[in-house]
Amino acid sequence: MGQATDAMSGPDNLPAFLDELAALTAKHGLRIDGCGCCGSPFLQRTDASETDWPAHINLAYSTHTQRYSVEPS
């Protein structure tokens, strides 16, 4: 898999990844965001009217299991 030379452009498949991520955000009403001070990723609802789910949920990816896990922040 080829890598782009410009660090800001990312891997060659970055545009496709971002397109699929946008589709997942639209489908499930969740987006990945990051903390402004430490950059820790979290999930956030796109519909602020939902009240049965925390506004932010900490997000982690395990390279061992190749799965994401979440916990309320």
Residue by residue, pLDDT tens for the chain (73 residues) are 444 445 566 688 889 999 999 999 999 988 888 877 877 888 888 876 656 666 678 888 899 999 999 876 6
Specify the pLDDT at position 21: 94
CA atoms within 13 Å, Cβ hemisphere of 27: 6
Tokens of 51: 């009240």
Specify the pLDDT at position 1: 45
Residues 6+ apart with CB under 8 A from 2: 11, 12
Amino acid at 65: T
Specify the pLDDT at position 36: 76
Specify the pLDDT at position 50: 57
